[in-house]
Amino acid sequence: MSPPTALDVNLVGVTDTSAVPVPDPLTVNGVPAWREKMAKIPTGVAAASNSDMFKSPICYTKPKAKRFERMATFAHSESTDHFSLEAKSRKASTLKTAARYLKTPGLISLGGGLPSPEYFPFEHLDIKVPTAPGFSPEATRESGTVLRAGKHDIQEGTSNYDLEIALNYGQATGAAPLLRFVTEHTEIIHSPPYSDWQCTLTSGSTYAWDTALRVFCERGDYILMEEYTFASAAETAFPLGIKAVGIPMDEEGLIPEKMDEILSNWDVAARGARKPYVLYTIPTGQNPTGATQSAERRHAVYKVAQKHDLIIIEDEPYYFLQMQPYTSGDASPVPPPSTHEEFIKSLVPSFLSMDTDGRVVRLESFSKVISPGSRVGWIVASEQIVERFIRTFEVSSQNPSGIAQITLFKLLDEHWGHSGYLDWLINLRMSYTARRDSLVHACEKHLPREIAHWEAPAAGMFHWVEIDWHKHPGVAAGKTRASIEEEIFLSAVDQGVLLSRGSWFKPDHDTVEEKMFFRATFAAASSEKIDEAISRFADALRVQFGL
Amino acid sequence: MSPPTALDVNLVGVTDTSAVPVPDPLTVNGVPAWREKMAKIPTGVAAASNSDMFKSPICYTKPKAKRFERMATFAHSESTDHFSLEAKSRKASTLKTAARYLKTPGLISLGGGLPSPEYFPFEHLDIKVPTAPGFSPEATRESGTVLRAGKHDIQEGTSNYDLEIALNYGQATGAAPLLRFVTEHTEIIHSPPYSDWQCTLTSGSTYAWDTALRVFCERGDYILMEEYTFASAAETAFPLGIKAVGIPMDEEGLIPEKMDEILSNWDVAARGARKPYVLYTIPTGQNPTGATQSAERRHAVYKVAQKHDLIIIEDEPYYFLQMQPYTSGDASPVPPPSTHEEFIKSLVPSFLSMDTDGRVVRLESFSKVISPGSRVGWIVASEQIVERFIRTFEVSSQNPSGIAQITLFKLLDEHWGHSGYLDWLINLRMSYTARRDSLVHACEKHLPREIAHWEAPAAGMFHWVEIDWHKHPGVAAGKTRASIEEEIFLSAVDQGVLLSRGSWFKPDHDTVEEKMFFRATFAAASSEKIDEAISRFADALRVQFGL
Provide DSSP, A451-504.
TEE----SBSSEEEEEE-GGGSHHHHTT--HHHHHHHHHHHHHHHTEE-EEGGG
Residues in A closer than 8 angstroms to B402, CB to CB, are 371, 373-375
Closest CA relative to residue A525, chosen from A461, A429, A478, A452:
A461
Q: Within 10 A of B347 (CB to CB), how many other CB atoms are there? A: 18
Q: What is the pLDDT of residues A245-283, one digit of tens each?
A: 999 999 999 999 999 999 999 999 999 999 999 999 999
CA distance A241 to A222: 9
Q: Which residue of A has its CA nearest to B88?
A: A239
- The tally of CA atoms less than 13 A away on the side-chain side of residue B142 is 6
- Residue A139: the pLDDT is 73
> From edge to edge, which strands make up the β-sheet containing A124-129?
A145-150, A124-129, B124-129, B145-150
Q: Is A120 in the B-facing interface, judged by CB distances under 8 Å?
A: yes
SS3 annotation, B67-119: CHHHHHHCCCCCCCCCCCHHHHCCCCCCHHHHHHHHHCCCCEECCCCCCCHHH
- Choose the mutation target among B395, B413, B537 for the interface with A, i.e. most A CBs under 10 Å: B395
- Say whether A268 sits in a helix, a strand or coil: helix
Q: Where are the alpha helices (DSSP H) in A51-203?
A: 68-73, 85-88, 137-143, 163-166, 176-190
Q: Are residues A287 and B232, on separate chains, in Cβ contact within 8 Å?
A: no
Q: Which of A94, A372, A520 sits opposite B504 (nearest CB)?
A: A94
Q: Is the peptide bond before A133 cis (omega within 30 degrees of 0)?
A: yes
Among B residues 25-84, those touching chain A with beta carbons less than 8 Å apart: none
CA distance A179 to A409: 9
Phi, psi of A70 (to 5 degrees): -70, -40
Closest CA relative to residue B11, chosen from B24, B29, B28, B27:
B24
Sign of CA pseudo-dihedral A234, A238, A239, A241 = positive
CA distance A14 to chain B (A): 36
DSSP A322: B
Sign of CA pseudo-dihedral B12, B15, B20, B26 = positive
Q: Using CB atoms within 10 A of its CB, is residue A480 exposed (0-12), middle (13-18) or buried (19+)? A: exposed
Phi, psi of A313 (to 5 degrees): -95, 105
Among A residues 301-360, those touching chain B with beta carbons less than 8 Å apart: none
Asked whether the beta carbons of A247 and A226 are under 8 A apart, the reply is yes
Instruction: Give whole-number Cα distances, A373 to A172, A246, A370, in Å.
Output: 19, 30, 9
DSSP A62: S
CA distance B76 to B263: 9
Low-confidence ranges of chain A (pLDDT < 70): 1-20, 69-80, 133, 329
Q: Which of A125, A129, A396 sits opposite B207 (nearest CB)?
A: A396
Closest CA relative to residue A27, chosen from A341, A244, A287, A272:
A341
- Residue A143: the pLDDT is 78
CA distance B44 to B42: 6
Residues in a beta bridge with A453: A466
Which run of H or E residues covers position B226? Answer: strand B222-226
Q: Is B428 in the A-facing interface, judged by CB distances under 8 Å?
A: yes
- Residue A327: the pLDDT is 87
Residues in B closer than 8 angstroms to A520, CB to CB, are 110
CA distance B65 to B381: 9
Asked whether the beta carbons of B371 and B404 are under 8 A apart, the reply is no
Phi, psi of A241 (to 5 degrees): 80, 20
Closest CA relative to residue B177, chosen from B352, B502, B402:
B402
CA distance A351 to A302: 7
Asked whether the beta carbons of B494 and B530 are under 8 A apart, the reply is no
Q: Within 10 A of A256 (CB to CB), how many other CB atoms are there? A: 21
Instruction: Give whole-number Cα distances, A64 to A13, A195, A238, B307, B369, in Å.
Output: 8, 5, 34, 57, 45
Which run of H or E residues covers position B493? Answer: helix B481-495
CA distance B532 to chain A (A): 8
Q: What is the mean pLDDT of chain A?
A: 92
CA distance A207 to chain B (A): 4
- Residue B96: the pLDDT is 76
Q: Which residues, at least 6 apart from A438, have a Cβ–Cβ distance to it below 8 Å?
A: A522, A527, A530, A531
Q: What is the pTM of this model?
A: 0.94
Helices (H) and strands (E) in chain A, counts: 18, 17
Q: Are residues B493 and A107, on separate chains, in Cβ contact within 8 Å?
A: yes
Asked whether the beta carbons of A120 and A164 are under 8 A apart, the reply is yes
CA distance A90 to A87: 5
**E strand residue ranges, A218-298:** 222-226, 243-247, 249-250, 253-254, 278-281
- Residue B74: the pLDDT is 41
Angle between helix A481-495 and helix A527-545 axes, rounded to 10 deg: 130
CA distance B526 to B394: 42
pLDDT tens-place values along chain B, 547 residues long: 344 333 333 344 444 545 567 889 999 999 999 999 888 899 999 999 999 999 999 999 999 999 876 444 444 444 457 899 999 999 988 877 777 888 888 999 999 889 999 999 999 999 999 987 778 777 777 778 999 999 999 999 999 999 999 999 999 999 999 999 999 999 999 999 999 999 999 999 999 999 999 999 999 999 999 999 999 999 999 999 999 999 999 999 999 999 999 999 999 999 999 999 999 999 999 999 999 999 999 999 999 999 999 999 999 999 999 999 998 767 788 899 999 999 999 999 999 999 999 999 999 999 999 999 999 999 999 999 999 999 999 999 999 999 999 999 999 999 999 999 999 999 999 999 999 999 999 999 999 999 999 999 999 999 999 999 999 999 999 999 999 999 999 999 999 999 999 999 999 988 888 999 999 999 988 999 999 999 999 999 999 999 9
Q: What is the pLDDT of residues B102-149, one digit of tens each?
A: 888 899 999 988 999 999 999 999 999 998 777 877 777 777 899 999
Q: Which residues, at least 6 apart from B193, have a Cβ–Cβ distance to it below 8 Å?
A: B62, B353, B354, B355, B356
- Say whether A149 sits in a helix, a strand or coil: strand
CA distance B410 to B177: 10
Give the β-pairing of A462-467 and A452-453.
antiparallel
Q: Are residues B375 and A287, on separate chains, in Cβ contact within 8 Å?
A: no
Q: Which of A169, A400, A498 sits opposite B110 (nearest CB)?
A: A498
Closest CA relative to residue B227, chosen from B251, B256, B249, B250:
B249
Q: Which of A95, A144, A371 sits opposite B231 (nearest CB)?
A: A95
Asked whether the beta carbons of B495 and B537 are under 8 A apart, the reply is yes
- The tally of CA atoms less than 13 A away on the side-chain side of residue B25 is 12
Asked whether the beta carbons of A280 and A331 are under 8 A apart, the reply is no
Give the β-pairing of B377-382 and A311-315.
unpaired
CA distance B190 to B192: 6
Asked whether the beta carbons of A254 and A226 are under 8 A apart, the reply is yes
Q: What is the pLDDT of residues A433-464, one digit of tens each?
A: 999 999 999 999 999 999 999 999 999 999 99
Residues in B closer than 8 angstroms to A204, CB to CB, are 397-398
Closest CA relative to residue B279, chosen from B252, B250, B315:
B315
